[in-house]
Amino acid sequence: MTSIKQREELQSAIWRIANEVRGAVDGWDFKQFVLGTLFYRFISENFASFIQGGDDSFHYAELTDDAITPEIKDDATKTKGYFIYPGQLFVNVAKTANTNPDLNTELAAIFKDIEGSAVGYASEHDIKGLFADFDTTSLRLGNTVEEKNRRLAAVIKGVESLDFGDFEDHEIDLFGDAYEFLISNYAANAGKSGGEYFTPQNVSKLIARLALLGQTSVNKIYDPACGSGSLLLQAKKQFDEHLIEEGFFGQEINHTTYNLARMNMFLHNINYDKFDIALGDTLLHPQYGDEKPFDAIVSNPPYSVNWVGSDDPTLINDDRFAPAGVLAPKSKADFAFVLHALSYLSARGRAAIVCFPGIFYRGGAEQKIRKYLVDHNFVEAVISLPANLFYGTTIAVNIIVLSKHKTEAKTQFIDAGGEDFFKKETNNNVLLPEHIDRIVSIFEHKEEVQYVATSVDNAKIAENDYNLSVSSYVEAEDKREIIDIDKLNAEVAETVKRIDALRAEIDSIIKEIEE
């Protein structure tokens, strides 16, 4: 593992390349080419390292393509999930990138071949369409072939120049961190469109720790609105791989973000047989009903999005929504995601979900859903976070923690929105490790902390119309200066006395002058 300084230098270099190369192209539009190139280099080096098997005297990139037998290709594809010929490796394409007049078409053919290599294998679903957003013929790269090739070559040579060190030692950590760094920076610069799919790493870490707390192993982990996969990957960072027995599962509705998530899995060295990311609408077309239950669920679903809701009368019979007896409002699907997660949660697991605060106090259908959750003792905690943690929104969001194995009919409320729970950095607030540790500790031990945390009997919540807003149960600290009225009156009286004396002196002086 490299030092923090080396990592920062690498990230700074990546961002500089991304900005220098794109020219007049909007950064958000251009991100696919930088991210795709980084991914292309990673899988090339990963694949070459696999073929070489630690033999320093053998260099796969130096072989000719016709030296590859069908048996070699078949065996490698079964293990890695894809195949790359020597001539298709990033290092060989980069050698001639600046002078290759057919660079854009050759790249397109290479990407097509890599995806095609998985056809008919168990990995086909995980590889298919990975490079769909890396369109080497896109007008975003330029109006002519020459312009496209010049920009593609600049990106390739820029990524080639990055020093990731020795692959076997720490390439995976550096590649994965660099990839997430790029995604987060694009999200920050894109405003709302970025924030919709990217959960900052510090928030992801908190959510993952809450969901996995106390579990030495889980069968599998699931994110029903996985975005670029950052929440799933934080779970991987919390535990050794063997403790997440059956892998990582996620579903994403946006095609581009779906591809980012799959790339992100590979970049963090999660092999195709240890993850399954699906494309589609989780609420209307859930993909993992046959895989449930899950011991850990993490999610940051989109806030208050529209969905079909009651316009589809069959949904009330869906086993995810039927127990609550009501559907989430058509203009606010938040609780539909919560109920979906609850339905997929195992009896021993936890779900930690980021939610818009309005769902915890509004009436109507949302109140009825809260009633169902509280009456069945599924809500372990509601945690309010500091404002301005996410890109593109200043909203102080909440985390709801769901559990099916609570021993007490109580719900914990934690107000982690105060100044003691974040640090302000540039335009956003961030949770530092000590802030995350404190929140997790309060949650784990169900601490009673004045002005911060308390546990409330569910019966009391029922009396309060099933309001789950943290501010309804955790008293806010009054930080106004305490004023001693008696002391203040005495000071005022003394001041008046001095003023009267001063006036008397002035009157005396004036009288002497007049005489």
pLDDT tens string 415-442:
998 888 888 877 778 899 999 999 999 9
Beta bridge partners of residue 345, listed in sequence order:
294
Q: Report the C-alpha gap between 22 and 485 in whole angstroms.
A: 65
Asked whether 40 and 82 are in contact (CB, 8 A), the reply is no
Quick one: pLDDT band at residue 72, thresholds 50, 70, 90? very high
CA quadruple 57, 63, 78, 268: dihedral sign: positive
Quick one: pLDDT band at residue 194, thresholds 50, 70, 90? very low
Quick one: pLDDT band at residue 361, thresholds 50, 70, 90? very high
User: Considering the chain, what is the average pLDDT of its residues?
Assistant: 89
pTM of the predicted model, to two decimals? 0.86
Helix/strand/coil for 503: helix
Quick one: pLDDT band at residue 340, thresholds 50, 70, 90? very high
pLDDT tens string 266-286:
988 889 999 999 999 999 999
pLDDT at residue 492, as a whole number: 85
Quick one: pLDDT band at residue 44, thresholds 50, 70, 90? very high
Quick one: pLDDT band at residue 163, thresholds 50, 70, 90? confident
C-alpha 108: how far from chain center: 30
- Classify the phi-psi angles of 91: left when phi > 0, otherwise alpha if psi is within -120 to 50, otherwise beta: alpha
**CA dist 238 to 207, 209, 212, 382, 438, Å?**
11, 7, 8, 22, 17
CA angle 361, 363, 368 (to 5 degrees): 100
pLDDT at residue 242, as a whole number: 59
Residue 74 has pLDDT above 90, yes or no: yes
Beta bridge partners of residue 381, listed in sequence order:
401, 412
Alpha helices in 191-244 (DSSP H): 192-195, 201-212, 230-238
Cα radius of gyration (the chain): 29
pLDDT tens string 450-495:
999 999 999 999 999 999 999 999 998 766 667 778 887 888 888 8
Quick one: pLDDT band at residue 192, thresholds 50, 70, 90? very low
Residue 196 has pLDDT above 70, yes or no: no
pLDDT at residue 165, as a whole number: 65
DSSP state of 312: S
Phi, psi of 297 (to 5 degrees): -130, 130
CA angle 333, 338, 340 (to 5 degrees): 95
pLDDT tens string 246-258:
999 999 998 888 9
